[in-house]
Amino acid sequence: MPLLQRNRLALRPLTPVIGAEVSGFDLRQPLDADTVAELQAAINRWKVLFFRDQPISDEDQLRLGRYFGALTPAHPIADGLEAHPEIWERHASEYKKHRPDLGIPTSKPPRDYKGWHIDITFVANPNSYSILRGIEIPAYGGDTLWSNLVAAYDGLSPRIQSLIDGLQAVHRTGSYDAGSGPRVRRDGKPAGPFAALHPLVRVHPHTGEKVLFVNPGTTSHIVGLRERESQVLLDLLAEEVTRPEYQVRFHWSPHALVIWDNQATAHAGPIDYAHFDAPRTVRRITVAGELPVGPDGFRSQPLEGELFGVIS
């Protein structure tokens, strides 16, 4: 697709629906307010922004995140780096380990859908943005997919939209999120279990768009429906989340960095970790978010565990 030149940003959309590659400036340098505003507008439009050849430091990554809001701890369940507790480091080898869940769900979540998820929705206030940076990247493999959840909602029939606009669903920690970490984080906060009640559709706080707020990894059931009804509807909606026409695929390269709107996207990756043994290390930070609100005004509520706090 053609290059779109804004005042400061050069954007190259990767699909008509989601994803744009950004070029033209150095993330090691501080950004002025106008550039940050353009980045925010680009995220609102394209949902995921990709940057290449950005050999930044941990401190640069933290500074970039703070342009979009306060930063959270690395993860509600896992510790961050000791020097930078906001940073969560992940290795591809960790995905191959057996990850028993916490044993708390009362209903089965939808099928795994090959790792598709929204970050940290088992708390009532999931993060608003995620920023992921490549540290050690293999020559091939380890790609990540993102899906546009606004497009997923818009693609539903009006009757299904009307049905789900007023429904709520429970999100719980599961095997993907639980890992095998400590029950208490380094900062003394409990590391789960967590559960939250969310609207099945949320209204984006910046754009006003309706977002299909279904997390294939942690949405356990829809409140008020029989178990079979809940499972069938969740399977249908999870299939919408993962439809290829709403996706963008990113081939990582050394020093690449991605910013995505966690309020409007789901992602999966590394999608092929089971098929390669090359080292792959990434570091992620998350920007604090607010309580999601549904079209009917319902605001998310914690069911178990505390809200996701702010660290810096």
Cite the active site residues: 117, 119, 267, 284
Is the CB of residue 85 less than 8 Å from the CB of residue 73? yes
Rounded alpha-carbon distances, angstroms, from residue 28 to 6, 24, 55, 57, 287: 20, 12, 8, 8, 19
Encode 95-111: b = buried (16+ Cβ within 10 Å), e = exposed.
eeeeeebbeebeeebbe
Question: In the block, which residue shows the tokens 């990554």?
Answer: 61
Rounded Cα–Cα distance for residues 305 and 207 (Å):
29
Q: Which helix (H) or strand (E) holds 241?
A: helix 227-241
DSSP 71: B
Long-range contact pairs involving 82-87 (C-beta distance under 8 Å, separation at least 24): 82/186, 83/58, 84/58, 85/186, 85/187, 85/311, 86/62, 86/285, 86/286, 86/311, 86/312, 87/58, 87/61, 87/62, 87/283, 87/284, 87/285
Rounded Cα–Cα distance for residues 306 and 190 (Å):
9
At 259, is the secondary structure helix, strand, or coil? strand
Amino acid making up residue 34:
D
At 223, is the secondary structure helix, strand, or coil? coil
Question: In the block, which residue shows the tokens 């990582």?
Answer: 252
Pairing of strands 195-199, 301-304: antiparallel
